[in-house]
Amino acid sequence: MLRSTFLCALCFTSLSAAQRDLFYRDPDAVHALACKPDEDQCYINWHKSINVGGKVETLLAPNNTDSTDFSSGLAALRQIVDQVASEGRRIKAFGSTWSLSNVAYTEEVMINSQGLTYCKVGIDDESHVTAAFKDIRNRLAIVQAGMMVRDVHQALKVKNLALSTTGAGDGQRFAGAISTGTHGSALHYGAMQEFVRALHIVIPGEHVLLQRSTDPVITDAFGVWMDGTRVISDDTLFDAAVVSFGSFGIIHALIIEAEPLYELKFQSKQFNYGQVRPVLQSLDPSSLGFKGIGSEMPFHFEIAINPYRRNQDGCFVRLFEKVTLSNEEFRVQQESGMLDAYDPEDTDLFEAVGQAFKPAMGLLPTPLLRRLVFGRGVQFALRRVFQTKARREQGQTKKPYEWFTFKGAHDPATKSPVPGTGLEIGVPVDRVVEAIELIFAIVDSDPLAAPIAIRFIKKSRATLAFTKYDLTASIEISGPYDRGAFRRQIKTRNQIFETLAANGLPHTYHWGQNFPVNDEWVRNAFEADVDVWKDARSNFLGDSIDIFSNDLLEQIGLYP
């Protein structure tokens, strides 16, 4: 903290009077406003979220000089990390910049991972994997940090493989997605970090491969092949590092385990809150009348609620059943070119909500007007995403990468007319009704231009995973938020943070979304696991610990 206060004091002297005034009202704003969106030495996130990012002293973008080999990219990372360490500066890497907080940001040195796109599906040499993985080594893949989730899907599908889960979109880079615990609604599987088998990390003076000791996958021989990396098998270290938002070093690559290619059968419908409330309590979807769905939850189940029309068909449910694809079906689809056809037309919730609102809507003077107009916008966005009125979509079967994608995901510029933000609250599933009803009470009197979307994720082993409960219900609220028309949205979002804390309801926040910048919620959410994570980090990094720290880590009590 001392360090950032000192640096801030230095930059404070160079501020104009207006900027100083702003600093007193909103300290983070000065930082973020110091940057123009088209400036080179700047970090701005994909959604241009306010108070995220700012100037960067050194911005680097290492590449592989040979796309069929990782060694040049790895060597470049090693050189950068050693140089930064020798200068005693701080460094963070970023992926697609989709995170909605300063989790990826430092003003000192930043690495753009997007040029690190080596990917190899299958480990050829038997001696590179442990006995348990010999027969399925064709399902392991070595994925460099900057591979986009979409591109990993494409590399896997031609080998009859798929990722076990992803987020709703596929524009994140691999290291970025894993580092914050990106998830979908895989009730029986979990979040993306669950398929990570080893992490290849660059730290000063060396590069290491971390894996679990209780479930090791790779051997020292693999380490030799990977340019002489040291293999460390340690459950505590791996579980702490896998979701650590860049705080354990620069991730060069990940070893992941894919599964046989599958398809997902889609259904969606609209309901009133009175119909979905009992399902949220019992997790028995049979009363909803979906074809072929009994009392068991399917592979993916999701509810998005328009709080202002919740009793007028404003609760949208979509589900996906997992359908296996036989080898014969795969062969036929591959030969007929069906696996190539892939043109994302749909939108995801972030994008649809962003597009549903015009700046003028944020200026509506009364809560009644805002409820009416926001209710209309949210309903429009949810209908687009959940496709409840598209008869031809109902019962359709597609590959996971065809569902969980959207056109704008691969475009670095946001499509929203105003900057956006999002938050995701994780609660134990048996408290989800209580949590959303607390949120209803807040947004009823001070409306947010956002739906309340609920997904369900199995418990993660990662020490600081926000999906930490046996079954976590994640409550997502994303929508426009700017310094002009939509600025009052922050008040409502803060009220949600405060209300959850005051009610003693167990909860966590998604690391890749916006969250309260204080150390209380982190300690309350993760209790003694905070110390387990901090100890694992300091034992691993030793004197280099400060290099991979940033202001946010200090503000939320994870460093020192």
Ligand X SMILES: Cc1cc2nc3c(=O)[nH]c(=O)nc-3n(C[C@H](O)[C@H](O)[C@H](O)COP(=O)(O)OP(=O)(O)OC[C@H]3O[C@@H](n4cnc5c(N)ncnc54)[C@H](O)[C@@H]3O)c2cc1C
Q: Which residues bind to ligand X, rule: CB under 6 A?
A: 46-47, 92-99, 103-104, 113, 145, 167-169, 172-173, 175-177, 179-180, 182-183, 245-246, 250-251, 348, 350, 510, 512
| Nearer of residues 219 and 489 to ligand X, judged by Cβ | 489
Q: From 362, 50, 7, 78, select the one nearest 229 (Cα to Cα).
A: 78
| Nearer of residues 96 and 117 to ligand X, judged by Cβ | 96
- φ, ψ (nearest 5 deg) of residue 332: -65, -45
| Nearer of residues 137 and 468 to ligand X, judged by Cβ | 468
Q: From 123, 122, 132, select the one nearest 225 (Cα to Cα).
A: 123
Q: How far is the CB of 428 from ligand X (least distance, A)?
A: 18
Q: How far is the CB of 173 from ligand X (least distance, A)?
A: 4
| Nearer of residues 23 and 174 to ligand X, judged by Cβ | 174
Q: CA-CA distance, 105 to 35, in Å (whole number)?
A: 13
| Nearer of residues 137 and 146 to ligand X, judged by Cβ | 146
Q: Is 34 helix (H, G, I), strand (E, B) or coil?
A: coil
Q: How far is the CB of 264 from ligand X (least distance, A)?
A: 15
Q: How far is the CB of 331 from ligand X (least distance, A)?
A: 32
Q: How far is the CB of 335 from ligand X (least distance, A)?
A: 33
Contact 127, 366 (CB under 8 A): no
Q: CA-CA distance, 273 to 476, in Å (whole number)?
A: 17
Q: How far is the CB of 461 from ligand X (least distance, A)?
A: 17
Q: How far is the CB of 21 from ligand X (least distance, A)?
A: 31
- φ, ψ (nearest 5 deg) of residue 385: -75, -40
| Nearer of residues 77 and 361 to ligand X, judged by Cβ | 77
Q: Is 434 helix (H, G, I), strand (E, B) or coil?
A: helix
Q: How far is the CB of 8 from ligand X (least distance, A)?
A: 21
Q: Tell me which H or E stretch contains 199.
A: strand 196-203
Token pair 């700017």 is at which residue?
482
User: Three-state SS string across 226-248, please?
Assistant: CCCCEEEECHHHHHHHHCCCCCC
Nearest to ligand X by Cβ — which residue?
Answer: 176
Other beta carbons within 10 angstroms of residue 10's beta carbon come to 9
Q: How far is the CB of 327 from ligand X (least distance, A)?
A: 31
| Nearer of residues 70 and 94 to ligand X, judged by Cβ | 94
Integer angstrom CA distances of residue 151 from 118, 147, 200, 413, 528: 11, 6, 20, 19, 38
Within 13 Å and on the Cβ side, how many CA atoms surround 49? Answer: 28
| Nearer of residues 160 and 387 to ligand X, judged by Cβ | 387
Q: CA-CA distance, 144 to 173, in Å (whole number)?
A: 9
Other beta carbons within 10 angstroms of residue 516's beta carbon come to 19
| Nearer of residues 51 and 180 to ligand X, judged by Cβ | 180
Judging by beta carbons within 10 Å of its beta carbon (0-12, 13-18, 19+), is residue 484 exposed, middle or buried? exposed
| Nearer of residues 164 and 172 to ligand X, judged by Cβ | 172
Q: Which value, in Å, is the radius of gyration of the alpha carbons in the chain?
A: 23
Q: CA-CA distance, 193 to 181, in Å (whole number)?
A: 6
Give the pairing of strands 420-428 and 508-509.
Answer: antiparallel
| Nearer of residues 93 and 477 to ligand X, judged by Cβ | 93
| Nearer of residues 279 and 423 to ligand X, judged by Cβ | 423
Contact 538, 203 (CB under 8 A): no
Q: How far is the CB of 281 from ligand X (least distance, A)?
A: 24
- φ, ψ (nearest 5 deg) of residue 454: -120, 125
For residue 61, what is the DSSP state? -
Q: How far is the CB of 454 from ligand X (least distance, A)?
A: 12
Q: How far is the CB of 120 from ligand X (least distance, A)?
A: 17
Q: How far is the CB of 193 from ligand X (least distance, A)?
A: 11
- Token representation of residue 139: 């399902």
Contact 456, 471 (CB under 8 A): yes
Q: How far is the CB of 93 from ligand X (least distance, A)?
A: 3
DSSP, residue by residue, 238-286: HHHHHSSTTTTSEEEEEEEE-EE-EEEEEEEEEE-HHHHHHHHHH--GG
Contact 145, 173 (CB under 8 A): yes
| Nearer of residues 23 and 533 to ligand X, judged by Cβ | 533
| Nearer of residues 57 and 444 to ligand X, judged by Cβ | 57
Q: Please state at what angle helix 489-502 crosses helix 432-445, rounded to 10 degrees.
A: 140
